[in-house]
Chain A
Amino acid sequence: MHHFGFHKFGRTLMTLVAVAISAAMMLSMLSIAEGFREQSMSTIQDSHRDILVQAPGWTGLSDAHALAEELESAPEVAFASPVLVTDTNMMLTLTIHKTNTFKLAVGAGIIPSKEKEFEGEDRKTVIINNFAIEYIDDFQELEDPFADGGIPTRELMINRIFAEANDIQKGDMLGVNGVNFTVSGIFRTSFSQDGSSGVFEDILADTAFIGLHLSELQDLVGLRERDAATFIALTMDESVRSSKTIEDHANALREKYSYFYISSKADRLRDAEERTSLANVFYLAIGSVAVVIGILFLACIMIMSVYERINQIGMMRAIGISRRTIFLQTLEESTILVSLGALLGLPFGYFASEFLGNFIGANIGVSFDLTSFTPQIVVYTMLLIVGLGVLVSLYPAWKACRMDIIKSLRHVG
């Protein structure tokens, strides 16, 4: 089939490059969006926290130990672990004796033995609010002795970034709300990348993220009497653990504890999907701008190509080439151009997404892979670009086939 514009090599190449850049931009944006989504989803998916029991506010649950035991007594539940997470508003302050400086702290109170049961002896990773904490060291005391009137351990775990930024080592003494604690170990989070200086690194270097025994954190923030917790996490017994049993048990808990907010893994996945889809709109918008520019470029080239070949079109019509043939020919030309451009954009898109992923990762300081270059993204991008390319080419194709033969033949370009 004859194509009007392909003999203009430079212009054809320019169009291919424009479409390829659009495709590459769209691909990299989508792969970043998909990377965030996958990360968010897999954290929930991989977690052993099948059901969360919450009440309004950060410390909405009372009698956490007793409630956890009650929840754990159900035969289909393997473990129930109460967790207290404080925020900066709770004015948890940390004193670094060595340098005599004060920092704000965010604390997570857990029962280490419960968490170990949750995540397995070898996992050493705790998920708190979809935030992965990986222990390099461990609590010396795994139970929560202070809760039963025992002696407080006064041990805490501290985030690696904060520890390194403030020259804190294992065994150092720190004051938390005026009470002295020994650093028994270091943990790291998924928001810490070795050697990076991202925004999360900056935040985590300035704000102490600490892990304590649940009852000792309650004591520090004045919630011990109420035995407050942020949530209680449940893991189903392995023998009955399935999406259906999780959902059934969550429904049973909803009936029994109507004043609590019960969320199953599926609920949290749904929430995460909603949260990430909002971010996806943002990435999609950036990618779309690039696509629109590329496609408009293609449309302009096609219109120019048609007007430049008025004589040829006039001749073709005069010798009996039908309008349909000319229409399809113009459309075919743009389809080939846009498809080749999009194909050319694939490798660029892959490398661009890798580059952007590393760049953003290094800047915000995350250790997980920020991009996900999936076949679905490739297919979606190809369909979008080729579809739009064909759509905008309808006009030049229509113009070409409707040209007046005599005027076309007489046209002096």
Chain B
Amino acid sequence: MSLIELIGVKKLYSMGESEVKALNGVDLSIQQGEFLSIVGPSGSGKSTLLNMIGCIDTPTSGKVLLEGKDISSLGDRELTRTRLRKIGFVFQQFYLLPTLTTLENVELPMKEARVPHAQRRARAEELLSHVSLSNRAGHYPNQLSGGEQQRVAIARALANRPHLILADEPTGEVDSQTTDRIVSLLRDLHSEQGITVIIVTHDLKIADSTDRLVSLNDGRIESDVSHVRTDRGPEPVQSLVEHHKDGPEMITGKDGGGPDMVTGRDENETNRGQD
């Protein structure tokens, strides 16, 4: 069973009298333990797709299945509980609470999950250590750099041991050096703990470092490309990146760097919504 499965998902928004199709028939299947990026131009539906996967939005039509359960059938309370227990969010603007210390920010989701104080404190300390911020536990967000704040946000996302981390432009507000560190942190989480990580990004370098790249345009999946990793490590699919630089419409799995490096998924299987 897939961790996440989107079947013919459409999302329409009303803008006055006109309707905007944010997602226009998306089919996507994500397995447990994938490290995936979603790319596409502004307005292509990336964030809407992430919101669907993250149970903070429901489709106008179609189905979003999380561990086989249709999220449209869940009420607000169940959706909230699902987000709390199974999903970790990392936002572009970090969204740490300014009145809480770093440690307290990490504790926040555990507090909601009613984890006993000593237990959640120990877990928060462990997570801060994991993101190399133990020495910043008592600091407030405004005393941290952007990169540090994002690492705290990642620690917070991991608090309740989620199955899935959703990162919406996680490096949008940090410099390139910090970007590398954050991406490497996310990759470590994926490889060490087997957590499914989905990153929405504009940064092709980041997209290239993931194992699978889903490209969206006009609310449809334009391409869905998996990298085949070799012993040489996560070698970038340079040709794919080059294509993407020319415009997302150029990206297709078939245009990748060869079957040994890039596997174009069966379009009929994964991009049913495009038709």
Interfacial residues, chain A to chain B (CB-CB below 8 A): 2-4, 6-7, 311-312, 314-323, 325, 405-406, 409
Contact = CB atoms under 8 A, between A and B. Distances in A.
B95 A406 contact: no
Interface in B211-240: none
A312 to B, nearest CB: 6
Contacts of A6: 99
A318 B83 contact: yes
Interface in B77-120: 77, 80-85, 87-89, 91, 93, 95, 97-100, 104, 108-109, 112-113
User: DSSP class of A's interface residues: helix, strand, loop or mixed?
Assistant: helix
Given A319-B108, A321-B108, A406-B56, A2 B99 contact: yes
Contact of B85 (A3, A312, A320): A320
Interface in B54-80: 54, 56-57, 76-77, 80
A316 B99 CA distance: 14
10 residue pairs, one from A and one from B, having the closest CB atoms? A320-B84, A315-B95, A320-B83, A405-B56, A7-B99, A321-B112, A322-B80, A318-B89, A2-B97, A319-B89
A323 B80 contact: yes
Contacts of A312: 95, 97
A323 B97 contact: no
B100 A2 contact: yes
A319 B97 contact: no
30 contacts: A2-B99, A2-B100, A2-B108, A3-B99, A6-B99, A7-B99, A312-B95, A312-B97, A314-B95, A315-B91, A315-B95, A316-B97, A316-B108, A318-B83, A318-B91, A319-B108, A319-B156, A320-B81, A320-B82, A320-B87, A320-B109, A320-B160, A321-B80, A321-B84, A321-B108, A321-B109, A322-B80, A322-B112, A323-B76, A405-B56
A405 B80 CA distance: 11
B270 interface: no
B91 A406 contact: no
Tell me which of B57, B99, B160 has the highest count of chain A C-beta atoms within 10 A of its own C-beta: B99
Given A3-B99, A6-B99, A409 B112 contact: no
A104 B54 CA distance: 90
Tell me which of A311, A312, A315, A316 has the highest count of chain B C-beta atoms within 10 A of its own C-beta: A315
Interface string B121-165: 000000000000000000000000000000000001100100000
Contacts of B113: 320
A166 B97 CA distance: 75
B178 interface: no
B57 A406 contact: yes
Given A322-B112, A323-B76, 5 more contacts: A3-B99, A311-B95, A316-B108, A319-B109, A320-B81
Contacts of A4: 99
A167 B112 CA distance: 82
A64 to B, nearest CB: 78
Contacts of B84: 319-321
Contacts of B54: 318
Given A319-B109, A320-B83, A320-B112, A7 B56 contact: no
Contacts of A315: 89, 91, 95
Contacts of B85: 320
A390 B45 CA distance: 42
A319 B164 CA distance: 12
B274 interface: no
B51 interface: yes
Contacts of A325: 112
Nearest to A1: B111
Tell me which of A311, A321, A325, A406 has the highest count of chain B C-beta atoms within 10 A of its own C-beta: A321
Contacts of B98: 7
A192 B57 CA distance: 76
B172 to A, nearest CB: 13
A322 B77 contact: yes
A89 B56 CA distance: 83
Given A405-B56, A406-B57, A409-B91, A320 B80 contact: yes
A221 to B, nearest CB: 78
Contacts of A406: 51, 56-57
B95 A317 contact: no
A316 to B, nearest CB: 8
Nearest to B100: A2
Contacts of B87: 320
A6 B99 CA distance: 8
Contacts of B77: 322
A320 B104 CA distance: 16
A330 B49 CA distance: 31
A374 B104 CA distance: 43
Contacts of A405: 56-57
